[in-house]
Chain A
Amino acid sequence: MTLLAASISELSRQLRRHEFSAVELTQEALDRTHDLDPELGAFLRVTPDLALAAAAAADRRLRDDPTGASVLCGIPVAYKDVVCTQGVETTAGSQILRGFIPPYSATVVNRLSALGVVPLGKLNCDEFAMGSSNENSAYQLTRNPWDPTRVAGGSSGGSAVAVAARLACATLGSDTGGSIRLPASFSGVVGVKPTYGRVSRYGLVAFASSLDQIGPLGKTVEDAALVLTAIAGQDQRDSTSVQAPVEGFLQELRGGVRGLRLGIPREYLEVGIDPGVRAVFDRSVSALAGLGAEIREVSLPTTEFALAAYYVIAPAEASSNLARMDGVRFGPGSPAATTLRGAYEDSRHQGFGAEVRRRVTLGTYALSSGYYDAYYLRAQKVRTLVAQDFDRAFAEVDAIISPTAPTAAFPLGERTADPIAMYATDVLTIPANLAGISGISVPAGFADGLPVGLQVLGPYLGESTCLRVAQSLESELNVWDRLPPLAGAAG
């Protein structure tokens, strides 16, 4: 059994008992990645020198100050390639950022580094986080470790797979419309989308500014909560980040669900849930009820418009955020261009994939005069309705539960020709981003051998509740330590 199969807190204890060193742990992660990742495609680049140097520093710190050192000290992690890492290429899964070496690191990276984590490398993702299957990366495919003919889920596919295959103890992804929760569900790991503003976006290559959040993926709820605690908190550099206490995440984790009111949105079950997924969901609901939760039905009537609103707002903001990708200050550029317009067009034509072009064009359309009121403004108003729906629901229940996605992982290539079908993958995750509330996907079982996640949504700044419900289910079902076939047989 690989060392990386253990939880972070267990590894933390083992490191302090000198059962192995951080360097050894890191080397194992690197070896596993070397052996298993060629088939999985989770990593875009591995940084062994940086990792081993950080591991050695972590060992020194653990030796000198074992009680003061963070539980994350010496723990191998990896970052979705939309997170800027100083001195390490950051591509956001796009050719237009090929060779881009940021001169600065994202705040989340600095916070984790300060605690002594070991950065293994950068993880594959859909280009600029636009996608639900991780098939839009301009570099490589990421395969589902439970079935390599299927998608890992996106856009944080690499982040989910690296955890699922035990290549890293925890990873960071980003979630704009479900991009952490969805791959977590498809790959059988825990993924948390924090409340908007909970985690600094400084250093996150922006997709949709009012929707994006960086969040943790881990094999257990506690692992994810540990990382969330480390990265959350106001950042002066991000004007949209909020001041809010983070201690509750861990303190209330094992509080159980007795007496908690859990709401199931009627509209979410009407979208066409796969029977296998539905069966897993129903069993989870029974399990939670058995643990003492009160299950109720709630209504979120604006759900039918949420997908449309998202596919106006996100592309609109993206079209503006991606305007800086012009090949002048970074990216391959077009030195042979003779006109300015030609230079821009060459860079962006070569640099952007099909999904990005689609969304940038759609976004440009939604913001143009003549269409702004009908699309962007209208979508932002629908957004208010979505948020109000949740406010009303959270007056009646403490958390909302649903399947994370209508299906389990689908075959590679199944939806790539049909953007609408692909977009519909996010129908259950998108509303939480529109409203800015917190959400988590926790492994809840299997359908035909494929992982199925349960989504728990909490009110604004209500991560503690989501984590608590997720943790209850996790310890009840005890499926989290089942390893996928592509994670290797043993150690």
Chain B
Amino acid sequence: MAAKRASAPPTGSIAPAEVAHLSSLARLGLTEAELARLAAQLEVIVAAVGQLAAADISSVEATAQVGELRNVIRTDVVAPGLTAEEALGNASVTAAGFLRVPAIQ
């Protein structure tokens, strides 16, 4: 399981190294120049959303979903899905019915 969440107060700033790490987590493949630009923009945005810290949330629960829906379930029945052709129809590279990706290192 992931590490227990620390509760860091929003500092309103985001370091370039942090942005590189986030870009890596999200597989965005950003170049150095792009990272620098993005870091500058995010700095401003993070500062702006950081004002959330001023809200008084002491009395409320989080809303993960609006609407109070609960227990939305379906019965355990099989229904037809896609054929293999349909499933693979948009893939750029396939091999013998499989999707193909570079090997996991």
Which residues of A does B touch, CB under 8 Å?
Answer: 99-101, 103-104, 196-197, 210, 236, 239-240, 242, 302, 305, 308-309, 311-312, 319, 323, 326-333, 335, 337-346, 348-349, 352, 357-358, 360-362, 364-365, 368-375, 377-385, 387-388, 419-420, 423, 435-436, 460
Knowing A311-B45, A371-B8, say if A344 contacts B63 (CB, 8 Å): no
| Alpha-carbon distance between A352 and B53 when the two chains are bound, in angstroms | 31
Give the interface of B toward A (CB within 8 A).
2-10, 14, 18-19, 22-23, 25-30, 34, 38, 41-42, 44-46, 48-55, 57, 60-67, 69, 72, 74, 82, 86-93, 99, 101-105
Min C-beta distance of B5 to chain A, whole Å? 5
Q: A347 to nearest B CB, angstroms?
A: 8
**From A101, A311, A342, A357, contact of B38 by CB (8 A):** A357
Q: Which one of B5, B29, B55, B66 contacts A373 once the chains associate, using CB atoms below 8 Å?
A: B5
A364/B5 in contact, CB under 8 A: no
Q: Add 13 more A-B contacts to A196-B67, A357-B38 (CB < 8 A).
A: A196-B66, A240-B65, A309-B52, A328-B101, A329-B91, A340-B103, A340-B104, A349-B29, A362-B42, A364-B25, A369-B4, A378-B52, A385-B60
Please tell me if the beta carbons of A369 and B90 are within 8 angstroms of each other in the complex: no
Q: Which residue of B is nearest A361, CB measured?
A: B22
**Knowing A327-B92, A344-B27, A371-B8 touch, does A339 contact B60 (C-beta < 8 A)?**
no
A–B pairs, 10, beta carbons within 8 Å: A309-B52, A328-B91, A332-B92, A333-B93, A339-B105, A343-B102, A346-B29, A370-B8, A436-B66, A460-B67
How far is B24's CA from A361's CA once the two chains are assembled, in angstroms? Answer: 10
B38 to chain A, nearest CB (A): 6
Which residues of chain A are near B104, meaning CB under 8 Å? 340
Quote the shortest CB–CB distance from B87 to chain A (angstroms). Answer: 8
- Cross-interface CB contact of A345 among B4, B5, B27, B63, cutoff 8 Å: B27
A311 to B44, CA, bound (A): 12
Given A361-B22, A382-B52, A385-B57: A420 and B45 interface contact (C-beta under 8 Å): yes
